Amino acid sequence: MQKFITLNGLVAPLDRNNVDTDAIIPKQFLKSIKRSGFGPNAFDEWRYMDRGEPGMDNSQRPLNPNFVLNQPRYQGASVLLTRANFGCGSSREHAPWALLDYGFRAIIAESFADIFFNNCFKNGVVPIVLPKAEVDALFGLVEHSPGYTIEVDLPTQLVKRPDGHAVHFDIDPFRKECLINGWDDIGLTLRHADKIKAFEERRRAEHPYYFA
Amino acid sequence: MEAQTLYEKLWSSHVVHQEADGTALIYIDRHLVHEVTSPQAFEGLKLAGRKPWRVSSIVATADHNTPTDHWEQGIQDPVSRQQVETLDSNIREVGALAYFPFKNERQGIVHVIGPENGATLPGMTVVCGDSHTSTHGAFACLAHGIGTSEVEHVMATQCLIQKRSKTMLVRVDGKLGKGVTAKDVALAIIGRIGTAGGTGYAIEFGGEVMRSLSMEGRMTVCNMAIEAGARMGFVAVDQITIDYLKGRPFSPRGDDWERAVAYWRTLHSDEGARFDQLVVLRGEEIQPQVTWGTSPEMVVPVGATVPDPAKENDPVRREGMERALQYMGLTPNLPVTSIKIDKVFIGSCTNSRIEDLRQAAVIARGRRKADNVRQVLVVPGSGLVKRQAEQEGLDKIFVAAGFEWREPGCSMCLAMNADRLEPGERCASTSNRNFEGRQGAGGRTHLVSPAMAAAAAIAGHFADVRDIL
Ligand code: SF4
């Protein structure tokens, strides 16, 4: 997993509640057996005028001029700003894969859906929950100042605006440590292999019918 | 000892290790696997040179990409075929307790085959790379969806890294009226608490209505816990649970059965157990439900009208409603029963079990679909459901009504195979998500119960099933 320590990045706004994972990466792209290459199809149905299918040359497809991320001022954004319940719906990890491949390393929202939230951490994408008032303010600032950037400082858990205003965000300490170090969860868990074996033995003795 | 909730019992019986901050390693009993979310996990395992921890925990099937007709022609779409074949070869290499590949007589939707084969048992932790894993909570399991990295994590370690959820009791008291089903209960709950209302919670569904539902009905409600934002929803064990499980292929037998049942009977929240949240609904007040928008919380009773965004005060919500109405091609204040439909889909892990098909068949019997309805798909959840329905003659009722009787799979629930809506088409669907494009780009989905879907097929527009019964 890619480490995440600090990020100073251009912010792109997606002013909607309940952006679901079907919207982030439509199902026809889930047929891939790879982890990468989903970026050009992130938000496919909103982003392009035609219907996307795997294997198309996306650079030749007509873009939807009304989709906010297609505006030239947001090209190269690495921070996505959005509203409540972002990432609801399907558990597809293809959603954070697509956002990461598109270039987003941090997502700021009023709230996230649980599974999506969890999946972000496994891929070095930082989901940040801020109070609604802070999110509202950021939407205003991004809209009125082209090229608006913010800094995400994970060690100090701060989102810093260029005007000096900084907001603290909460993050689970274990997840923070994994992100900062780029640790792989499986390796960490396997340090407890003896405990897992012992637990399994006890469970097998007590409830043999779960081990058919 | 202090009174415990069912969640606390299930959680504490699976903790392998716990850190001071509450992060825990949770042991996983059952791992369900399907073709869409597993290839990258198998690949990751192989690249890291790791072996699966306990292969006998795995039950696998191909369901999302498989066609529902012309099985003799195999899978036409080469990309879908490759994904299904990748699962075949991964399972061949790694092994599993059971694998129900494409065309197998027990193949079906992953959340239908687990319970019907007795592979989902009370007291288990059940995971799958699929958000509707919450379905299995109907058996008093800790069951939830995971991402592909976690699929790999479970394969490699038989554990997940988790933190305890908050607990919510959703109690549905009283009795349901005629024609009101588990699906209406699920939609009414989501209408009440919203699609983010359950975020961070594990929901226990209780009350007289839940106790009176069959296992099929309980699965429908737990299935949609995720649409209320909760990763998991569950129901306590009772005689209905135990009767359902007796004699299933992977259910315990003999002495093991007695021992298991004795344990399972303890799987309920104790008298006086405390929940972080309580939500109470009255069964009598629940009407047949129809969604009008692009989120399951955008739902109203069938007798109502399409809501008016002008009456919404919150600007973001108002815009969301306006966008949804525009996408759905609807105007505010329209009576729901005046909305005409183009297609009907009866199926998905929410509503493709035998009881769902029976409910639809009661309405379809001796009637015919309306002329303006182009297609009515009936897609059983599994090969076993299909066989049972055919033994009961349900297939003949459907075909006589002009419905299409298909092979099992996810089908038009998410339209990864050839079953899909064309842009602008409107569908009465028994599935669980009405998101933009979910059933095909530009398609318009209204979520309803199987009986309501059949009633809409007959009328050509939404209709109150209670007027027909
Ligand atoms: S039926 Fe639909 S919701 Fe259920 S597993 Fe299949 S695609 Fe997912």
What are the residue ranges of helices labelled H in chain A? 21-24, 44-47, 94-102, 114-121, 132-144, 173-181, 185-190, 193-206
pLDDT tens track for A153-162: 999 999 999 9
The pTM is what? 0.94
Give B348 Cα–ligand 1 centroid separation in angstroms. 6
**B254 token code pair:** 């003999």
What's the distance, CA B278 to chain centroid?
A: 23
Q: Is A93 in contact with B82 (Cβ distance < 8 A)?
A: no
Q: Is the pLDDT of residue B127 over 80?
A: yes
What span, in angstroms and rounded, lies between the C-alpha atoms of B233 and B170? 10
pLDDT tens track for B232-264: 999 999 999 999 999 999 999 999 999 999 999
How far, CA to CA in Å, does B117 sit from each of B106, B245, B382? Answer: 9, 9, 11
Note whether B213 and B186 are within 8 A (CB). Answer: no
pLDDT tens track for A97-156: 999 999 999 999 999 999 999 999 999 999 999 999 999 999 999 999 999 999 999 999
**A199 token code pair:** 């637990």
What span, in angstroms and rounded, lies between the C-alpha atoms of A164 and A92? 37
Note whether B130 and B111 are within 8 A (CB). Answer: yes
* Residue A48 DSSP symbol: B
Predicted complex: ipTM over 0.90: yes
Note whether A180 and A154 are within 8 A (CB). Answer: yes
Pocket of ligand 1 contains residue B410 by CB under 6 Å: yes
Residues 57-76, chain A, touching B (beta carbon < 8 A)? none
Pocket of ligand 1 contains residue B382 by CB under 6 Å: no
**B120 token code pair:** 């989902």
What span, in angstroms and rounded, lies between the C-alpha atoms of B89 and B242? 36
What is residue B246's predicted lDDT score, i.e. its pLDDT? 98
Residue B136: CA atoms inside 13 Å, Cβ hemisphere, count? 34
What is residue A1's predicted lDDT score, i.e. its pLDDT? 83
Average pLDDT over residues B74-88: 94
Interface test with B, best of A189, A191, A192 (most B CBs within 10 A): A189
Distance from CA of B12 to the nearest CA of A (A): 12
pLDDT tier at A184, thresholds 50, 70, 90? confident
How far, CA to CA in Å, does B416 sit from each of A32, B79, B83, B165, B199? Answer: 12, 11, 12, 32, 27
What span, in angstroms and rounded, lies between the C-alpha atoms of A107 and B166? 24
What is residue B213's predicted lDDT score, i.e. its pLDDT? 98
Nearest to B414 by CA among B382, B443, B450, B386: B443
- CA-CA-CA-CA torsion sign (B39, B41, B47, B50): negative
CB environment A112-132: b (16+ within 10 A), e (fewer): bbbbbbbbbbbbbbbbbbbee
What is residue B107's predicted lDDT score, i.e. its pLDDT? 97
Residue in B37, B199, B438 nearest the CB of A111: B199
Q: For residue B45, what are the β-bridge partners?
A: none
B308's CB contacts (< 8 A; 6+ apart) are B332, B333
Residue that the structure tokens 């599994």 belong to: B382
Pocket of ligand 1 contains residue B109 by CB under 6 Å: yes
End-to-end Cα, chain B, rounded Å: 50
Q: Is the pLDDT of residue A212 over 80?
A: no
Average pLDDT over residues B47-70: 95
Q: Spell out which residues of chain B touch residue A88, defining contact as CB-CB under 8 Å.
A: 195-196, 229
**B223 token code pair:** 């299935």
Q: Is the pLDDT of residue B1 over 80?
A: no
What's the distance, CA B242 to chain centroid?
A: 21
What span, in angstroms and rounded, lies between the C-alpha atoms of B238 and B122? 10
Number of H helices, E strands in chain A: 8, 7
Residues 190-229, chain B, touching A (beta carbon < 8 A)? 195-196, 199-200, 226, 229
pLDDT tens track for B16-29: 999 988 999 999 99
Average pLDDT over residues B298-305: 98
Q: Which atom of ligand 1 is nearest to the CA of A90?
A: 8
pLDDT tens track for B155-194: 999 999 999 999 999 999 999 999 999 999 999 999 999 9
CB environment B220-252: b (16+ within 10 A), e (fewer): bbbbbbbbbbbbbbbbbbeebbbebbeeeebbb
What span, in angstroms and rounded, lies between the C-alpha atoms of A25 and A126? 18
B70's CB contacts (< 8 A; 6+ apart) are none
pLDDT tier at A2, thresholds 50, 70, 90? confident
Nearest to A35 by CA among B86, B93, B148, B80: B148
The DSSP secondary structure of B421-466, one letter per residue, reads: PPTT-EEEE-SS---TTTTSTT-EEEE--HHHHHHHHHHSB---HH
The DSSP secondary structure of B48-75, one letter per residue, reads: TT---S-GGGEEEE--SS--SS-GGG--
Pocket of ligand 1 contains residue B349 by CB under 6 Å: yes
Note whether A109 and B139 are within 8 A (CB). Answer: no
**B154 token code pair:** 């479970």
Note whether B293 and B324 are within 8 A (CB). Answer: yes
Q: Could you give the 3-state DSSP secondary structure of residue A152?
A: strand
Q: Is the pLDDT of residue B351 over 90?
A: yes
Note whether A21 and B436 are within 8 A (CB). Answer: no
Phi, psi of B135 (to 5 degrees): -45, -40
Note whether A110 and A83 are within 8 A (CB). Answer: yes
What span, in angstroms and rounded, lies between the C-alpha atoms of B255 and B152? 35
Pocket of ligand 1 contains residue B328 by CB under 6 Å: no
Pocket of ligand 1 contains residue B432 by CB under 6 Å: yes
Interface test with B, best of A44, A46, A207, A211 (most B CBs within 10 A): A207
What is residue B469's predicted lDDT score, i.e. its pLDDT? 86
Number of H helices, E strands in chain B: 16, 19
Note whether B90 and B36 are within 8 A (CB). Answer: no
Average pLDDT over residues A12-19: 96
Q: Spell out which residues of chain A touch residue B164, defining contact as CB-CB under 8 Å.
A: none
How far, CA to CA in Å, does B93 sit from each of A186, A192, B86, B106, B107? Answer: 21, 26, 11, 21, 20
Give B453 Cα–ligand 1 centroid separation in angstroms. 18
CA torsion, points A119, B111, B293, B198, in degrees to nearest 10? Answer: -60
Nearest to B191 by CA among B277, B312, B313, B299: B299
What is residue B330's predicted lDDT score, i.e. its pLDDT? 98
Q: Is A23 in contact with B436 (Cβ distance < 8 A)?
A: yes
Please name the residue of chain B whose CA is at the shortest distance from the CA of residue A55.
B79
Residue in B148, B157, B257 nearest the CB of A93: B148
Return the best residue to mutate from B33, B61, B111, B435 for the ligand 1 pocket (most ligand atoms within 8 A of CB): B111
The DSSP secondary structure of B1-25, one letter per residue, reads: -----HHHHHHHTTEEEE-TTS-EE
B82's CB contacts (< 8 A; 6+ apart) are A31, A33
Average pLDDT over residues B325-333: 98
Q: Is A186 in contact with B153 (Cβ distance < 8 A)?
A: yes
Q: Is the pLDDT of residue B121 over 80?
A: yes
Give B30 Cα–ligand 1 centroid separation in angstroms. 19
Rg (alpha carbons) of chain A, rounded to whole number: 20
What span, in angstroms and rounded, lies between the C-alpha atoms of B387 and A33? 32
Note whether B233 and B133 are within 8 A (CB). Answer: no
